[in-house]
Amino acid sequence: MSGFSFKREEKIRKHSEYTVIYKKGAKKESHYFKIAVLPNNLRWRRFGLTVSKRIGNAVQRNYVKRRLREYCRLNKENLPESSDIVVTAKQGAQKLTYAAMCTELNLLLCPHAQGPATGPAGN
C-alpha cells in the first residue's frame, strides 16, 4: 500500500520550479485542465497542482485538489517517467465527477491507459 503514497521528493514545492516548468515544458490542454510536462534529471516523477480562485471558494478548490492528488497517486506508474508534471484546473473542473476527471486527465497524460482508475470509492 505504501507504493501508492506521495513522498516529499515527488512534490513540486517551489514557485521557481513551477515557473521553469510553465516556460519550458510541453503543454497540452483540454476543456477543464492544462498540463505542462518537463523532463527532469531525477529517476522519479514530480507533481504540482494549481487551482486558482476562479474555480470557486476554498472548499471547492480543496475538493478539486484532493481529487487531482488522488488521480496522480493512483496513476503515477502510468505517467511519464523522470518528468515534472504540473496540472492546472480550469473553470468548471469542480463540477466534474471523479470518473470524468480521470478520463480527461488520461487523455492528456497517459493516452495508452485503459480506462479511468476510479479508486476505492469508485465515484
Output the domain CATH number for residue 13.
Answer: 3.30.230.10
Domain with 26, as residue range(s), is 8-108
User: What is this structure's pTM?
Assistant: 0.82
For residue 13, tell me if it sits in a domain: yes
**φ, ψ of residue 35 in degrees (nearest 5):** -130, 155
Task: Note the helical H segments in the chain.
Answer: 15-24, 58-75, 98-109
In a domain, 104, yes or no: yes
Mean pLDDT of the chain: 85
User: Residue 69 is placed in which grid cell?
Assistant: 492528488
The predicted pLDDT at position 17 comes to 92
d(CA 89, CA 63): 11
Q: What is the pLDDT of residues 12-69, one digit of tens each?
A: 999 999 999 999 999 999 999 999 999 998 888 899 999 999 999 999 999 999 999 9
User: Per the domain annotation, does 14 fall within a domain?
Assistant: yes
Domain assignment of residue 113, yes or no: no
